[in-house]
Amino acid sequence: MTEARIWDRLAGRYDTIVRLFDTSYGRVRERLAADIEAGGRVLEIAAGTGQFTLDLARVADSLVATDVSPAMVERLRQRVTDAGLDGVECRVMSAYAIEPADARFDAIFCANALHVMDEPRRALAEFHRVLRADGVLVAPTFLHGVDGFRRALSRSLSVVSPFVAHTRFDLAALKQTMVDAGFDVVHAEAMSGLFPLGYVVARPAAGSGQMVSRGPSEQTAHGPAKRP
Ligand SMILES: C[S@@+](CC[C@H](N)C(=O)[O-])C[C@H]1O[C@@H](n2cnc3c(N)ncnc32)[C@H](O)[C@@H]1O
């Protein structure tokens, strides 16, 4: 079954199930308002039913909220409509093929998803490609590999439920995966919970091949990444 089909089948129960794991979500909401500069163009990847979308909409100038699962996006769209938000575009989109191909974003937010993707490195390469040189990636990711107990629990969950962690990160491994993808990690902490949540903020590393977008027709390779 494709990733999209698995999550389509979960969409109706997702808001109930996520409550088992979301003890750190309040803290993420506080942090994201500080870590994502107000007024920018923001892309949300793997938005699910929109657990963070309304919070992102408050800081973003424009927000594109996406998920690979059409059923998740249907619920996401409903949440955005119910909140009466204009300026949030909800789209079905894979983290592995961000569209349009020439898009550039000031911030990317991807929560509770890198560990469930079968190719997180491919997703990070795409994030790096579409993020501005002075942009920011915020990626809170559950850490299923912090100790033997969590590894065993994660393996059991994979057998008895559709929640499969393809990568059982600890915080060091999550940070290294980002560094390998061309990012500098500027903040990382483990927020406590049944599975700790690795809250990582990263920026494209200087000289990592990022492009500075100056307008629709003019793009140049950057020097050292600007920091706000
Ligand atoms: C555990 S949910 C997280 C939803 C939400 N971000 C949250 O924190 O509650 C994981 C989401 O990742 C999405 N997803 C899985 N693989 C994906 C991919 N390759 N591209 C985009 N979304 C993906 C699923 O459809 C699902 O909605």
Does a structural domain hold residue 215? no
Residues with CB under 6 A from ligand 1: 3, 7, 18, 45-48, 51, 67-69, 72, 94-96, 111-113, 116-117
Q: 99-105 long-range contacts, Cβ below 8 Å, gap at least 24?
A: 102/216, 103/43, 103/130, 104/41, 104/130, 104/131, 104/132, 104/135, 104/211, 104/213, 105/40, 105/41, 105/42, 105/43, 105/64, 105/130, 105/131, 105/132, 105/135
How far apart are alpha carbons 214 and 218 in whole angstroms? Answer: 6
Mean pLDDT of the chain: 90
Does a structural domain hold residue 228? no
Range of the domain at 168: 3-207
Residue 131 is predicted with a pLDDT of: 97
The pair phi, psi for residue 14, each rounded to 5°, is -60, -45
Residue 221 is predicted with a pLDDT of: 36
Whether the model clears a pTM of 0.85, i.e. scores above it, the answer is yes
How many angstroms separate the alpha carbon of residue 142 from the centre of ligand 1? 12
Does a structural domain hold residue 187? yes
Number of domains observed in the structure of the chain = 1
Which CATH number belongs to the domain containing residue 57 in this structure? 3.40.50.150
pLDDT tens profile 69-82:
999 999 999 999 99
